[in-house]
Structure formats: C-alpha cells, structure tokens
Homo-oligomer: A and B are copies of this chain.
C-alpha cells in the first residue's frame, strides 16, 4: 500500500556548507523519502548574501550545487530580498543556516521571526537566535501553530533534543553533561596522546581545517556555552541566555596537566553541564578513562542523566555539512510524520 505523497516546499536561507549540504541531501534522498514517508521535498527558493534563486515548482539541486564550485553564478530576481523570499514565495518550511552570531542573533533572528509570522515551519542550525531569544521564538511558533525545530544546532548529527523529547518520553531529566565542541576535543585528545603543547596542536588543527584562524569561539568555550543554553531552554525549560553560563576554555591546559590526569586514570575534557539545580557551566573537567564521556578526536558526546532510564549517552559527529543536513532532514520529516 503506497501512501499518498504530500509535497513539502522548502526554502534554504544561507547557502554555505550547511545550506548546500541540505540541498545535496535532498537530492540524494528524494526518492527514499517519498517512498518511506510519503513526502515529496522541493526546494522552492534559496537565498544567500550573493543572490537568490526561486522556483515554486522546485529548483534543480544539481544546478544549485554548481554555485559552490563556481560553475554557476549567483543571480537575483528583480531586487528580491531574502525577507521578500521568506514572506512572499509560497513554501512550507524555511531552513535557516546562516552563520551564528551570539551578540545580535542576526540575520537569522529576523529570518526566523519573519518565517514564523508568515506561517512557515522553521528548521535551523543557527545557534544565535535560540541562545538569545529562545522563549520569544518558541512562543511565537506556538501562537502561529507552526513548528520550530533545531536539532542541528546542538551536536550536529548527534541527536539530543529529539532523544530527550521522544525516546526518553516520560523520564525526568536530571542533568546533561557533554563534549559539544569537536575542535576542543581534538586539541585535548592530541595533546594527551602525543604529549604535545597546546599551541602546537592548535596550529595543527588550523592546518587541518578543524580550527578557525581565530579559534577563540571554540577554545574559549563560547560555542559550547551557546549550545548549553539551547539545551537548558529546550530540555529544562529555563529561560537562559549566554550571559547565564559560567565559562572557562581550554587555553590554559598544559600537557603536564594531561599527563598527571592520565597517571591517575583520567582524561581532561571541556565539559558543558546543565542540571535541574540551574547552574550552567562550561569548564575543563577530569573524566574517568572508562566513562562514556571519554570519546576521542573530533567526536561529540552527551550523557543524559534521567530518573527512570538511568544514564543514556549518545556519541556522534558534532560537525560537518552532511551531518548537520542529516539532522535538518530528520527535523523536516518529523514535522509531517
């Protein structure tokens, strides 16, 4: 028995690695998704700083991906702005993947508000708007009767938000502890395994593209803190913002400290923690070697302490365009299935 197929029109706002990843994943998975979930996904529009493409019957993803290789040039129909697209082009789900800005939340914040006010569902990987204006956005979505989903904003492909909401339904969550930044985990893992100093490994990570030229957001714990705020709000119903987090990064960890920890049966990891007591903390902590939180390399991990299921740990790739796109795709499907 084949289910009836429902057309779902999508806009992708921000066509960087993640936005293009979403187009690529839709291209690869269109037939599977139609067969398994009865959804026909069409990209009705994409927008980036460089231009806009719109086709309410569905753009060709293979063509769009040529924008990333330079084989295709950006265009813009009649001075259309991104907000025009969000408001006026008929579609069901806006996918927001512009870069995170933790000071103003823009331009994502305005994109999300505009989409919700236009009655569209929103799926986003953008942490800024959620860390700054969580209750405003969720209240607006509730008022409009639309969905606001953001699994990709915390831990990339690693499911946490949906895990707590669905798989652990009925459980009380006591705390979440995790490694939410792959760059820090890579640096600490290499320092511990090779006995190398921080500066050396940071440089290596930068050469490998695992750390940015200005690595401060990662190594000073800002990125982890922003994700923690999203978990605090979404899972614990707090009304927290970035300012509520006590943050220490990894810049002063020495290979001597890692060596001492190792001898005592521990590793040092940058751990974000939120619990029912309300404290939000990001800091380097000793983790027993056999603890499930001890994961290596660029992996992310979270241990969810619950009152019924005990401790549930989930491990996955925290970054990467296809991984983030995978979380976005699952969020889109969950709106309809």
Contacts and interface: CB of A to CB of B under 8 A. Distances in A.
A6 to B, nearest CB: 15
15 contacts: A33-B170, A159-B163, A162-B166, A166-B330, A171-B330, A292-B292, A292-B299, A292-B315, A309-B327, A311-B315, A312-B316, A313-B314, A313-B315, A313-B316, A314-B314
Interface of A: 25, 29, 32-33, 37, 151, 157-159, 162-163, 166-172, 290, 292, 295-296, 299, 306, 308-317, 320, 322-323, 325-327, 329-330, 332-334, 337
B308 A325 contact: yes
A310 B317 contact: yes
A314 B155 CA distance: 14
A159 B317 contact: no
A171 B320 CA distance: 15
A141 to B, nearest CB: 14
B290 A326 contact: no
Contact of A309 (B157, B166, B333): B157
Contacts of A25: 170, 308
A157 B167 CA distance: 9
B167 A159 contact: yes
Given A162-B166, A312-B159, A295 B296 contact: no
Contact of A308 (B37, B157, B169, B171): B157
A166 B168 contact: no
A186 to B, nearest CB: 13
A310 B315 contact: no
Nearest to A315: B313
A323 B337 contact: no
A25 B162 CA distance: 22
B312 A170 contact: no
Contacts of A323: 308-310
A308 B322 contact: yes
A314 to B, nearest CB: 5
Given A157-B312, A317-B309, A325-B308, A333 B170 contact: yes
Given A295-B292, A308-B323, A323-B308, A169 B316 contact: no
B326 A309 contact: yes
A29 B306 CA distance: 13
A161 B204 CA distance: 39
B320 A316 contact: no
A166 B169 contact: no
A315 B317 contact: no
A19 to B, nearest CB: 15
A169 B25 CA distance: 12
